[in-house]
Amino acid sequence: MTTTNMRIDSQDPAQYCANYCEENIWRLGSRLAPRTAWVLIIANFQQGVAIWRQRSAPHAQDPIVWDYHVVLAAASAGGWDCLDFDTRLPCPVPLDTYLSASFPAQDRVPRAYHPLFKCIPLPRYLREFGSDRSHMRASGAWLSPPPRWPAIGSHHTLPAMIDMRNRQHGQVFDLAQLRRFFLSHDAVA
């Protein structure tokens, strides 16, 4: 299966659940394996990353600030593609196009909202990811309705994965370093 013919149906509750990007990407990744792919956890030390072109933003031209976001970079015949269930961009989209559109004009964005990217090889993410969904509950109520599928994993590893100080699960890059990383890694579909 190539990323260019993979369809992501964000309207199908069996494939997608709003506000559970980490689980959506885990489920997508399990269908793509053993392809060459990296899971990109987008966060920063302040837990507030400005991302443009997101469907949750009130207006198409406005950014939304996520505490973290998770997408997939997959090898394709044309290089690296990005798969993001929540973008207004086509999906998949070339990774460089995604990065330019989602993180524009960083010189005009306050540093507190700049992204960091934790890159985790897809097989490792599939093996190590776990969420008990406790981060989506407050005062016993759901902040956003949970997915219809069972929780993933037996250990709640999500907090460590989204913590950019914790390097246990992957390498951490800023935007320029991430671009260089993918330029130096051939995409073998």
Contact 131, 162 (CB under 8 A): no
Quick check: 175 and 100 in contact, CB under 8 A? no
Instruction: Quote the CA–CA distance of 108 and 85 in Å, as a whole number.
Output: 26
Does the annotation mark 21 as catalytic?
yes
* 174 catalytically annotated: no
Question: From the candidates 17, 21, 82, 119, which is the catalytic residue?
Answer: 21
**Residue 180: partners with Cβ closer than 8 Å, 6 or more residues away:** none
Exposed / middle / buried, residue 40 (Cβ in 10 Å: 0-12, 13-18, 19+): buried
* Amino acid sitting at position 67: D
- For residues 83 and 40, what is the distance between their CA atoms, to the nearest angstrom? 10
Is residue 84 annotated as part of the catalytic site, yes or no?
yes
Rg (CA), the chain: 16
| Catalytically annotated residue among 81, 84, 86, 163 | 84
- Phi first, then psi: what are they for 95, rounded to 5°? -55, -45
> Given 69, 81, 91, 163, which residue is catalytic?
69
171 vs 105: CA distance, rounded Å: 24
Tell me the catalytic residues.
21, 69, 84
